[in-house]
Structure 1
Amino acid sequence: MPTTAVFVTNDQPGLPSDRVQRAWYLRLNALHGAKVLADAIRAYHNAVGYTQALRDAELITNETELAMTSTLAEVWKVVVDRLEAHTVAKNA
């Protein structure tokens, strides 16, 4: 299953600037484009850390943090399902 370069194109509500928005989407796209589980795990933790850093710096609200975490969980599920399906097909 081919991956696309851009997973999300709509705005993530509550992000304080375009720069923060671009950085967030770079992290989501890195996760979405992961070819192996190790890369997916690394990208996932990078995105979690970015979200926490924004929250610790009080640049986002609790609601925005929840929205970002929900988006990240959705992307994670898609990626893990894709990688597991590829592994099963490869080993069959």
Structure 2
Amino acid sequence: MEKDDILKRLKKIEGQVRGVHKMVEEDRYCVDILIQLAAIRSATNRVGIALLERHTQGCVRGAIQSGDGDKAIEELMEVVRSFVK
């Protein structure tokens, strides 16, 4: 996913969050809010996966090729661990 695509997705997520904020203010049905929150979580996960892939294919691959792969792999694994919590 390219930078422009990521930024577009983040703008969409931002709009979804504002929509949920409005739903809470308007005392909308809890299930409807929860459904929207699940959609937001899914959207942020997709962006995160795209960034992880981009980082792995670019930064981590470059570090491995230059001989500094161990540090890059450990850093990547720390991010993956926090991502899947």
TM-score range, shorter chain: 0.5 to 0.7
More helix by percentage: 2
Partner of 1:35: 5
Shift of 1:43: 3.7
Aligned residues: 59
What is the TM-score with the length of structure 1 in the denominator? 0.49
What SS does the corresponding residue of 1:35 show, helix, strand or coil?
helix
Gaps of 5+ in 2: 62-85
Say what the alpha-carbon RMSD is for the aligned residues: 2.7
Instruction: Using CA pairs under 8 Å that are at least 6 residues apart, name the structure with larger relative contact order, 1 or 2.
Output: 1
* CA gap 1:35/1:88 in 2 versus in 1, 3 angstroms: farther
Find 1:50's aligned residue among 4, 7, 19: 19
CA distance in 2, matches of 1:35, 1:90: 17
What is the TM-score with the length of structure 2 in the denominator? 0.52
Contact 2:13–2:43 (8 Å) recurs in 1? no
Q: Which ranges of 4 or more aligned residues in structure 1 deviate by more than 6 Å?
A: none
Find 2:48's aligned residue among 77, 80, 86: 80
Q: Percent identity?
A: 9
Gaps of 5+ in 1: 3-33
The superposition leaves residues 4-24 of structure 1 with CA deviations (integer Å, 9 ceiling, x where unpaired) of xxxxxxxxxxxxxxxxxxxxx
Partner of 2:74: none
